[in-house]
A = this chain, B = another copy of it.
Amino acid sequence: MTALDEDFGFTLGVVFRAYVKATNVAVGDLPGGHRGYQILTAAVRDQPESQSALCQQFGIDRTVMTYLLDDLEGASLVIRRPAPADRRTRLVVATETGRKRLAELDLRLKHAEAHVLAGLSAQDQASLKALLGKLAAHANAADPVGSACQVVQDIAASTPQ
C-alpha cells in the first residue's frame, strides 16, 4: 500500500497510531484527554505542584493549563489550593475521586498497551521495549527538550478522527 518511506518511519507511525488510538479509548471522556491524565498523575503521585511547574513539565501553555484545570476541577478530580508559602501560586492536589479515577485509568492503559503489543511474543515485546528504551535515551540526550512527555500531548492534539 505505501512504499512511502522505506519502512521504519512508516511502521513506527502505524504502531504509534495504534497506541494513541488505544490509549485515547482507554482515557475516555477524562477532561483534557491525555493531558488531563498527565496532570492527574502528577497530582496523585508527586508532591503538590504549582500550575506553572506543571506547565513546564508537560510543555503546556499557562493559559491552556487554566482551563484544563478548570475542567478537572469541575469533575472533582483535583482541586486548586493556595500555596501556604506563596499566595500567588495554586497547588494542584488530587481529590479522593481523582485517585480512584487514576487507578482505573492506569489499569485501562495497561490493558491498552497489552492490546497493542499483542502481536508480539513476550520475548519480542521485551526486545522491542529494550530497543525503544535505548533509542529514547539517545534521543533525549541529543535533544535536551523540556520534557519528552510533551509528545503524549502533542498527539492528543492531533487525533482528528
Contacts and interface: CB of A to CB of B under 8 A. Distances in A.
Interface residues of A, number: 62
Contacts of A67: none
B8 A132 contact: yes
A95 to B, nearest CB: 20
Interface of A: 1-19, 21, 23, 38, 41, 45, 59, 109-110, 113, 116-120, 124, 127-129, 131-140, 142-143, 147-152, 154-155, 157-161
26 contacts: A4-B38, A4-B149, A5-B109, A7-B129, A7-B132, A9-B113, A9-B152, A10-B136, A11-B129, A11-B133, A11-B135, A11-B136, A13-B16, A13-B151, A14-B136, A14-B148, A16-B16, A17-B150, A18-B135, A18-B136, A116-B135, A117-B135, A119-B135, A127-B127, A127-B131, A154-B159
A124 B137 CA distance: 15
Contacts of A19: 9, 12
